[in-house]
């Protein structure tokens, strides 16, 4: 323990643990470059770059991170995360597991017995065990939900990790999150939803990063995953996988002007949802998002799935999993995806027709796509293989991106992203 404290102190003083490129340049006052995607619109995205010295923090544990976040205040602030910060800890820094959050008599065995569809039926869970689950979930949420306010920059120092937490940008703007490994936003208390998908399903509470009502956000060189506790390793209850993780990065509820660049999404089911409801017509004219030079590796679906938004998807790299793959690009209600020069690598049994799925979508613009090294027209292939359950998509999405960095060929981007995407790979 004493050696660990010495190591943390030394890291805070910059004595070791930072790679040479991290020591050479302080990225914490960087702002989004001009024209770098939708987040560069208007006044751009500057995060906490204007913070005074009293609001520049280096944090090494949850307590320090919570103090620096200041309840999601709008005060300009820079938060540097060093080492590994575990959100599932108490005020003394001791780790908390699911048993520590359980309260009011909640027990998974009792919950399963109470709401078994064979006896409970299809009604929404209610009664003592559901009430106990909700109370237990609130206890965990108090620890792991981390509110990020306006005018904030969060950066990782060296190989910084935030595990178990859900960074939530709620009704805030001008936020930058960079060079951070954010992993395992693990929900101890999923809820059973009997009518979801016809057969029922488990629903979890926490996105690793959640933008809701957020504007002008730049996420860059971030790694997001379930590392250490994949849902595929969880048991099956009521014939459905007992999910513990929600989205890696969800952008919902009127969020707008977002750039996600040089980040890595890995080993997860539902990676990115842009627009959470077909009925959320207030999202029209919003959800403008740019995704460039990101890697989606072993992601089952939603890379991304889009409703309403004008979303520019260019120079991304997709490494499709061999098992349980569903799709990459999800075209949903009134979405306008403009996809350029993306590269897909798939196992032999995955076909180009599997890469796009539509739910009430109408259009998809795509050019320059590579599929296992060969050029393909995803739109033509989707329409040719459409089962008839959805209408054919047109190429006219009603807009052409103007805010973007250099757009390379898919082959060049494939190599660049493989080398440079994710935390710890800042240029």
- Which CB contacts under 8 angstroms, 24+ apart, belong to 373-376? 373/411, 376/352
**C-alpha distances in Å from residue 104, one per residue of 101, 107, 143, 198:** 10, 9, 18, 31
Residue 33: which region, alpha, beta or left (left: phi > 0; alpha: psi -120 to 50)? beta
Our CA dihedral for 31, 37, 43, 45, rounded to 10 degrees, sits at -30
CA-wise closest residue to 330 among 308, 358, 311? 358
225-249: b (≥16 Cβ within 10 Å) or e: bbbeebbeeeeebbeebbbbbbbbb
What element of type H or E holds 101? helix 98-101
CA distance 206 to 145: 8
Residue 25 CB-density burial (10 A; 0-12 exposed, 13-18 middle, 19+ buried): exposed
CA-wise closest residue to 295 among 343, 346, 349, 352? 343
Residue 347 contacts residue 320 (beta carbons within 8 Å): yes
- According to DSSP, the residues that pair with 170 across neighbouring strands are 212
Q: How far apart are the first and last CA of the chain?
A: 34
Our answer to whether residue 302 is catalytic in this structure is yes
Q: Reduce the DSSP state of residue 284 to 3 states and report it.
A: coil
CA distance 422 to 407: 19
Write out the DSSP string of 123-141: SPP-SHHHHHHHHHHHHHH
Q: Which of 62, 143, 288, 302 is flagged as catalytic?
A: 302
CA distance 193 to 126: 11
Q: Which residues are catalytic?
A: 302
């Amino acid at each position: 323990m004493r050696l660990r404290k010495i190591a943390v102190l030394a890291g805070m003083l910059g004595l070791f643990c930072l790679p040479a490129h991290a020591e050479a340049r302080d990225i914490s006052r960087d702002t989004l470059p001009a024209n770098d995607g939708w987040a560069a619109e208007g006044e751009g995205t500057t995060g906490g770059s204007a913070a005074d010295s009293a609001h520049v923090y280096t944090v090494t544990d949850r307590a320090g991170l919570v103090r620096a976040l200041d309840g999601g205040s709008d005060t300009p602030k820079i938060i540097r995360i060093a080492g590994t910060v575990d959100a599932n800890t108490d005020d003394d820094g001791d780790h908390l597991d699911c048993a520590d959050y359980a309260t009011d008599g909640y027990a998974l065995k009792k919950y399963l017995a109470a709401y078994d569809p064979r006896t409970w039926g299809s009604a929404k869970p209610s009664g003592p065990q559901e009430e106990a689950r909700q109370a237990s979930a609130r206890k965990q949420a108090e620890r792991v939900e981390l509110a990020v306010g306006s005018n904030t920059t969060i950066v990782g120092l060296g190989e910084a990790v935030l595990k178990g937490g859900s960074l939530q940008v709620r009704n805030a703007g001008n936020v930058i999150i960079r060079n951070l490994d954010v992993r395992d936003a693990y929900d101890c208390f999923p809820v059973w939803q009997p009518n979801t998908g016809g057969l029922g399903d488990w629903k979890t509470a926490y996105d690793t990063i959640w933008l809701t009502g957020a504007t002008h956000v730049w996420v860059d060189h971030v790694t997001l995953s379930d590392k250490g506790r994949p849902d595929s390793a969880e048991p099956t209850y009521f014939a459905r996988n007992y999910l513990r993780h929600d989205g890696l990065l969800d952008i919902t509820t009127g969020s707008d002007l977002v750039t996600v660049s040089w980040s890595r999404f890995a080993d997860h089911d539902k990676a990115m949802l842009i627009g959470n409801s077909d009925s959320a017509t207030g999202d029209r004219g919003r959800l403008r998002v740019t995704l460039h030079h990101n890697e989606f590796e072993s992601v089952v679906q939603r890379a991304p799935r889009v409703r309403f938004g004008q979303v520019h998807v260019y120079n991304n790299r997709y490494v499709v999993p061999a098992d349980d793959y569903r799709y990459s690009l999800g075209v949903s209600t009134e979405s306008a995806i403009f996809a350029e020069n993306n590269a897909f690598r798939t196992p032999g049994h995955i076909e180009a027709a599997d890469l796009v799925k539509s739910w009430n979508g109408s259009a998809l613009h795509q050019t320059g796509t590579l599929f296992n090294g060969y050029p393909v027209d995803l739109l033509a292939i989707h329409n040719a293989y459409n089962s008839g359950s959805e209408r054919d998509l047109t190429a006219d999405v009603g807009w052409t991106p103007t805010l973007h960095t250099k757009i390379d060929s898919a082959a060049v981007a494939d190599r660049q992203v493989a080398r440079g995407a994710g935390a710890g790979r800042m240029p």
